[in-house]
Amino acid sequence: MKLAVIGTGYVGLVSGVCFSELGNDVICVDKISSKISMLNGGEVPIYEPGLKQLIAHNKEEGRLSFTTDLTEAVRNSDIVVIAVGTPSMSNGQANLSYIMEAAKEIGQALNGFKIIVTKSTVPVGTNEKIRDIIAEHSMYPFEIASVPEFLREGTAIEDTLHPDRIIIGAATEIVKETLIELHSPLTNNIMITDIRSAEMIKYASNAFLATKISFINEIANICEKVGADVTQVARGMGYDKRIGHSFLKAGIGYGGSCFPKDTQALVQIAGQMDYDFKLLKSVIEVNHDQRFNIIRKLEAILKELSGRTIAVWGLAFKPETDDIRDAPALEIISSLLSKGARVKAYDPIASKNFSNVLQHECLEYCNNVREAAENADALCILTEWNEFREISPDLIQSWLKLPNLIDGRNLYSEEELKGTQLIYYSVGRPNMNNGIKEQSPILSI
Ligand code: UDX
């Protein structure tokens, strides 16, 4: 099949490349000419393991190309995929201006029957607006469909080529049949539904996963008070098939380009229909507050943060990405700086992106773990990079001025900490706190 993919962000680029890997002819389009030049020159604007090689392979096979010319791309395709961004506006609502602009340009470019598929995350009812705009600008027949994307950064290719399910929201047989044929090499688990339900499935899925994270983070906070271990609790809960083990890792809260944006947007969508989505509002609030546990723990050990040097390992919102959008590290480091601390930060690949948005005279970006930790009053681990796991607590202690480690991602096991003199705080594992004076209160029944 011949595809034009509009937008070369995470969703557009990875989907386009994976569709070409399946043997389709794909033209990826972006308005930003520097991105297209990079892609044509063999460079990739985002960090995603395996993507560069897959792009090179499919370009070589002649199935994949990049252009700024949307009209030409649309005219040479049977299926047009909209994968432009839907960033949050200040009130949390999704900004649909890129979507509407793309719909207008697609309408103007049509030269015959095509199927227009939306992969961007859009509020319920948006595909119908897309249809209206295209119809306004085109004399040719077309059909629309909603096929939401569930890929995760860092495992985007694997997620796209081996998805748990494909959701196709479509109204006519021709669209259903064509899109089943396009996606059937990926999985047998294809669900056909109506367009509005497909749009809602994406928001509901992200909101549910975010809810699991905030839930386990609150359980972790209670574990710290009652003397239980949240990793054991999550493990025990996960054996129940109805609950499952995934997305029950306690930490410093979720970040990234999807969960924060989509949870806010769903609260707005509900609000516009006069529905107060209380549960999701609490999920967002819990997530925001969880970040500051790092600061509270630092203050419990150091009392005053002013004049202290705090090392931070991990700036990306999760490992295997250089994405810092809504990364908990942004607010945590800003808070440390506002309290008068000096911060020495290190991330294997996200420092450049981070320094583009956060510069401060008391914030130093370091070249390696040791440089960041050396002579610091405490070390905070904010992202669970494997590189950090390999460094022993004893080595960390030898680098630090004061032996304080705040582990926001529960990187170290009890075994690894045995014998260390580090004062160690993790998340929801009070029994492993080492050197902390207060005892957890014992509850009487
Ligand atoms: C997410 C969804 O998983 C994906 O389906 C959707 O298409 C886009 O949003 P992504 O943002 O790439 O993907 O990352 P994900 O691996 O889901 O993690 C999101 C955040 O949740 C990260 O900050 C991560 O650290 C946090 N998280 C995840 C936890 O704190 N605990 C967990 O158990 C899982």
Q: Is 368 exposed, middle or buried (0-12, 13-18, 19+ CB in 10 A)?
A: exposed
- Write the residue with the smallest CA distance to atom 31 of ligand 1: 249
- Specify the pLDDT at position 433: 74
- Measured in Å, residue 192 CA sits from the centre of ligand 1 at 25
- Measured in Å, residue 254 CA sits from the centre of ligand 1 at 7
Q: Which residues are annotated as a binding site for substrate?
A: 150-153, 202, 247-251, 255, 318
Residue 432 DSSP one-character state: G
Nearest to 127 by CA among 80, 178, 196: 196
- Cα–Cα distance measured from residue 274 to residue 224, given in angstroms and rounded to the nearest whole number: 38
- Write the residue with the smallest CA distance to atom 1 of ligand 1: 152
Strand ranges for 284-351 from DSSP E: 309-313, 342-346
Residues 254, 163, 347, CA angle at the centre, nearest 5°?
Answer: 35
Is 2-193 a CATH 3.40.50.720 domain?
yes
**CATH C-level class of 202-288:** mainly alpha
Nearest to 347 by CA among 324, 331, 375, 377: 324
Q: Which residues are annotated as a binding site for NAD(+)?
A: 30, 35, 86, 121, 153, 261, 325
- Measured in Å, residue 433 CA sits from the centre of ligand 1 at 27
Q: How far does Cα 428 stand from its chain's mean position?
A: 23
Residue 437's contacts (CB-CB under 8 Å, 6 or more residues apart) are none
In the chain (445 residues long), the average pLDDT of successive 10-residue segments reads 97 98 98 97 94 97 98 98 94 93 98 97 96 97 98 96 98 97 97 98 98 98 96 98 98 96 96 97 98 96 96 97 96 98 98 97 98 98 97 96 97 90 94 60 45
Q: Which residues are annotated as a binding site?
A: 30, 35, 86, 121, 150-153, 202, 247-251, 255, 261, 318, 325
Q: Which residue of the set 18, 28, 258, 366 is catalytic?
A: 258
- Specify the pLDDT at position 431: 84
Q: Do domains 2-193 and 202-288 have the same CATH topology?
A: no
Cβ atoms 92, 268 nearer than 8 A: yes
For residue 167, how many other CB atoms are within 10 A of its CB? 22
Instruction: Provide the residue ranges of all domains of the chain, joining segments of one domain with +.
Output: 2-193, 202-288, 291-432
Residue 36's contacts (CB-CB under 8 Å, 6 or more residues apart) are 8, 30, 66, 67, 68
- Measured in Å, residue 27 CA sits from the centre of ligand 1 at 29
48 forms beta bridges with none
Atom of ligand 1 nearest to the CA of 259: 9
Q: Can you read off the two tokens belonging to residue 59?
A: 């370009």
Atom of ligand 1 nearest to the CA of 256: 11
Residue list, ligand 1 pocket, CB within 6 Å: 149-153, 206, 209, 213, 247-249, 251, 254-256, 258-259, 317-318
Nearest to 51 by CA among 156, 183, 187: 156
- Specify the pLDDT at position 434: 67
What architecture (CATH level 2) is domain 291-432? 3-Layer(aba) Sandwich (3.40)
Residue 44's contacts (CB-CB under 8 Å, 6 or more residues apart) are 13, 38, 51, 52, 55
- Measured in Å, residue 206 CA sits from the centre of ligand 1 at 9
- Cα–Cα distance measured from residue 46 to residue 52, given in angstroms and rounded to the nearest whole number: 9
ipTM of the complex in this document: 0.98
Atom of ligand 1 nearest to the CA of 155: 12
Strand-strand pairing, 114-118 and 64-67: unpaired
- Specify the pLDDT at position 432: 82
Backbone dihedral angles phi then psi of residue 90, each to the nearest 5 degrees: -60, -25
